[in-house]
């Protein structure tokens, strides 16, 4: 088996194979230097150099070229000495990174401090920043590792005296600076070298995801949004293009996340609103946007129902959010806030609702 096939099989074993393949196609199609910006901290190089090396070799086999960032030349030399002599990595200036990545090598830049790293990140505009640290994520004192941090609501407590240790609080402050100084859409996570590939290629990810926090807008109809961007969101989330007939219906309300990263569409129906679509762009899945949408949706509507294919990977999450469900061969129907006498009508309506997708993307 060729090395690339081994890598594909390894990645598929970490999550849904179809999601992994979709991520790979997405990353390989983008400008190579914008795939990821990987900050390799001194602790990761010193404590986990073998894992870092294994990760980089696997990424090279997948023909991916993340920008690697280290804080000094000594760390860069230490890492290079561990890699094969012919490994495709080239030290360069930030302005040269795009050219180096286009030629098939991983750009390696030296950024000694926070301001230099932020400036490099703002110049390159990568879709993802990953900080490799010595443990699996950020861990407040006396608590377990946090899988998600919302800067809008969590920052002050985490950098306080009883929050993160000083080194981790400094990293979180740097991440906050990235969000403050960079205007493009991106995600930031902090994880161990052992979990880098899981962080890059699975929806659930690994380590700590840090989010700015999502603004959710409430719209009254399709005329209030950009149809093409909305169609692209649905195609990304469901893997199929929406049928034109879907846009001919009149929604009751649309909840739309920043930058068309997610949406929920409610339609008027007997007894209670019908949630016809709940979608998160595949590039944003695992970032907590679904939770932000759900809070906006349930904050405005106490009663509604919806359906999902039995094999939909989000079905377990739906099960945790509903008041009840009925499973069928084609659809599982969920509801919130319905009386027992209303369930039969809701189930029949959901099962008979039109299919909204056409061709597979």
Domains and CATH numbers, the chain: 3-211 (3.40.1160.10), 216-360 (3.40.630.30)
Distance CA 251, CA 275 (A): 10
Q: What is the separation of C-alpha 92 from the centre of its chain, rounded to a whole number of angstroms? A: 29
Distance CA 148, CA 157 (A): 14
Can you say whether residue 16 is alpha, beta or left, with left for phi > 0 and alpha for psi between -120 and 50 degrees? beta
- pLDDT at position 222 is 93
Note the pLDDT of residue 361: 42
Closest CA to 130 of 89, 99, 97, 171: 171
At 16 the pLDDT is: 56
Cα separation of 137 and 83, whole Å? 25
The number of beta carbons lying within 10 Å of the beta carbon of residue 41 is 21
Residue 86 class from Cβ within 10 Å (0-12 exposed, 13-18 middle, 19+ buried)? exposed
Per-residue pLDDT of the chain (361 residues; tens, 9 = 90+): 455 565 556 665 555 555 556 555 656 556 777 788 999 999 999 999 999 999 999 889 888 889 999 999 999 999 999 999 999 999 999 999 999 998 999 999 999 999 999 999 999 999 889 999 989 999 999 999 999 898 888 999 999 888 999 999 999 999 999 999 998 878 899 999 998 988 887 766 789 999 887 889 999 999 999 989 999 999 988 888 898 889 999 999 999 998 898 999 999 998 999 999 999 988 777 667 888 899 999 999 999 999 999 988 889 999 999 999 999 999 999 999 999 999 999 999 999 999 888 654 4
d(CA 31, CA 67): 12
pTM exceeds 0.75, yes or no:
no
Distance CA 60, CA 55 (A): 9
Cα–Cα distances (Å) from 344 to 18, 167, 327, 333, in that order, read 34, 56, 13, 10
Integer angstrom CA distances of residue 276 from 87, 266, 269: 49, 6, 10
Beta bridge partners of 57: none
Residues 6+ apart with CB under 8 A from 294: 264, 278, 321
Q: Are strands 262-267 and 253-257 parallel, antiparallel or unpaired?
A: antiparallel
């Amino acid at each position: 088996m060729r090395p690339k096939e081994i890598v594909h099989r390894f990645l598929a074993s970490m999550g849904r194979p179809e999601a992994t393949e979709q991520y790979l196609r997405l990353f390989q199609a983008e400008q190579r230097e914008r795939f990821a910006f990987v900050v390799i901290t001194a602790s990761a190089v010193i404590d986990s150099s073998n894992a870092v090396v294994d990760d980089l070799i696997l990424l090279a086999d997948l023909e991916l070229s993340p920008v690697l960032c280290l804080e000094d030349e000594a760390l860069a030399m230490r890492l290079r000495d561990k890699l094969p002599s012919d490994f495709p990595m080239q030290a360069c200036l930030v302005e040269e990174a795009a050219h180096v990545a286009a030629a098939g090598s991983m750009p390696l830049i030296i950024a000694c401090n926070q301001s230099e790293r932020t400036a490099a990140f703002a110049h390159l505009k990568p879709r993802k920043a990953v900080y490799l640290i010595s443990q699996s994520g950020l861990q407040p004192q006396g608590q377990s590792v946090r899988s998600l941090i919302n800067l809008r609501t969590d920052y002050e407590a985490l950098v306080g005296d009883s929050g993160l240790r000083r080194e981790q609080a400094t990293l979180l402050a740097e991440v906050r600076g990235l969000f403050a100084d960079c205007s493009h859409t991106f995600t930031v996570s902090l994880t161990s070298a052992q979990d880098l590939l899981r962080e890059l290629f699975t929806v659930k990810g690994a380590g700590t995801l840090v989010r700015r926090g999502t603004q959710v807008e409430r719209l009254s109809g399709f005329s209030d949004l950009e149809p093409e961007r909305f169609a692209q969101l649905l195609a990304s989330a469901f893997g199929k293009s929406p049928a034109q007939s879907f846009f001919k219906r009149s929604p009751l309300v649309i909840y739309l996340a920043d930058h068309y990263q997610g949406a929920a569409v409610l339609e008027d129906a007997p007894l209670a609103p019908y949630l016809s679509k709940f979608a998160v762009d595949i590039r944003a899945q695992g970032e907590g946007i679904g939770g932000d949408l759900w809070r906006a949706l349930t904050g405005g509507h106490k009663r509604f129902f919806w359906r999902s294919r039995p094999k939909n990977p989000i079905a377990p999450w739906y099960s945790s959010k509903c008041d009840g469900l009925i499973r069928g061969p084609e659809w599982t129907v969920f509801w919130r806030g319905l009386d027992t006498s209303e369930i039969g009508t809701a189930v029949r309506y959901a099962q008979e609702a039109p299919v909204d997708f056409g061709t597979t993307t």
